Structure 1
């Protein structure tokens, strides 16, 4: 099949964790995949011809975003885009290894968090709007349970940026509806990835399912929201938390 016969998705932050699992699932379902991350090209990208391109990109940098957008348009060469998964995010610590709170840390670090976690999804959604319209596509923003309640291990900057992204999702859904583009978000809870430290184990008793989730749990929800099964779903946020958001 050519790129015009298969659906295509762009996934950010795809070198590991949720982003990587999501890319692999879309490949399994027969989609073409374009990814980016700060890290190196995943090995699976070299082995699968449907993984069209992995573009090393620092999405917290405006010039890098512009270059990434240009490269995606070059790869697609006029073909439509059917999915955009805004997964890339960050939660840096202060110079003293503290979580970035309201009373500590440099405000420049707050700006950096918001640039990647909030403004980058907005910029990419706007930049790909026309080809998403052409493909009748869907946008999925990755938010967080930390954006809805105080989390013991999430920084204030990270949590608030994810709260803002939840709000952006609703506004995008309203404005992009006229183009036939659906916009939703997925809020993961405690997911076992390379970023999760051993201290997260103490949160398991607070999870009704009594376990952490896996990246594949989140990937399946993302895929659903991009698929034809969710053609009448927009402006919603799905919690993939094992019920933790209920407690």
Structure 2
């Protein structure tokens, strides 16, 4: 499951008497805009070198050719947002996809507006246009990673879980379109680019795909279980072409949709006695997309603090 905390209010800026003080104010300004710009910075796997910004210059062209590129769905919050932060710091180019437009006030990434595709993954016709848009943005260059992170988990009007007895047919269809069908359509649509980059696909499943959850509904749970099975099938089909396919199954993660009541109820049941952070999930995604996982395919890695023990 997926969620995040609000930032504490940022107070008045201190007088800029030293370079260290100026740097601290800059970090505070970033944190006010984006909840992940101040988190776990010291633990990032690398920091991107300064990238020239003059479009069309030889330096920019060479940099674009050398950088790895990733497509990420569900980038506007939670795990997806932390993943963008982590990979961007490591020098990757990230093409983001979400239902929401890019918010420059919240996220100060320079290439954000140019590398964002607004698309409703529930609409397979719109998804076809989005794939064409992504291909245009790649401009014939290879794709090194596709992370299918977007997912929806509808609730009843009173906020309770939707069971197999109460889930409307239209809700079943919407959930499976976004959580299950969109990942395979994106992977198929971007197959040639992934093959050229000898890339990797990572599907984000969930702990609810293997056990009944007190809050996640039946449609969400079964869509994630189906996505885990799809990951194995895709790994088998894509491997001869040099493309690895894996999945991660997060447990209780502190994102925007995780209420304090949920955390208080479930944290004591987790052996590590806490919920996870989006950055802890993002680091596993980074591993699966790196050369360190070059012989790993068809796996589903569980990130839940021992919750399934």
Please point out which of 127, 145, 153 is paired with 1:65.
127
Please point out which of 90, 96, 100 is paired with 1:29.
90
Residue correspondence of structure 1 range 10-159 to structure 2 within 5 A: 10-43=71-104, 46-49=108-111, 52-95=114-157, 97-159=159-221
- Corresponding residue SS for 1:65: helix
- Corresponding residue SS for 1:205: helix
Considering only CA atoms, is the larger Rg found in Structure 1 or Structure 2? 2
- Corresponding residue SS for 2:65: coil
Please point out which of 290, 293, 303 is paired with 1:230.
293
Large movers: runs of 4+ above 4 Å: none
- Corresponding residue SS for 2:156: coil
Listed one character per residue, the Cα deviations across residues 119-172 of structure 1 (whole Å, up to 9, x for unaligned) are 000110111111100000000000000001111111011001000000000000
- Corresponding residue SS for 1:3: helix
Cα 1:50–1:113 change in 2 (3 A) is closer
Deviation, structure 1 residue 196: 0.8
**Counterparts of 1:222 and 1:47, CA distance in 2:** 20
- Partner residue of 2:3? none
Listed one character per residue, the Cα deviations across residues 94-136 of structure 1 (whole Å, up to 9, x for unaligned) are 3454422110131111111011000000110111111100000
| Contact 1:7/1:32 (<8 A) preserved | yes
Give me the CA root mean square deviation.
1.5
- Corresponding residue SS for 1:220: helix
| Contact 1:125/1:139 (<8 A) preserved | yes
Deviation, structure 1 residue 51: 7.6
Please tell me whether residue 8 in structure 1 is matched to residue 72 in structure 2.
Answer: no
Deviation, structure 1 residue 199: 2.6
**Counterparts of 1:221 and 1:241, CA distance in 2:** 12
TM-score, structure 2 normalization:
0.77
TM-score, structure 1 normalization:
0.95
**Counterparts of 1:50 and 1:20, CA distance in 2:** 12
Aligned residues: 246
Deviation, structure 1 residue 52: 4.9
- Corresponding residue SS for 1:26: helix
- Partner residue of 1:203? 266
**Counterparts of 1:150 and 1:106, CA distance in 2:** 19
Deviation, structure 1 residue 76: 0.6
User: Where does structure 2 lack aligned partners over 5 or more consecutive residues?
Assistant: 1-61
Deviation, structure 1 residue 55: 1.4
Deviation, structure 1 residue 49: 3.4
**Counterparts of 2:138 and 2:63, CA distance in 1:** 11
**Counterparts of 1:224 and 1:241, CA distance in 2:** 17
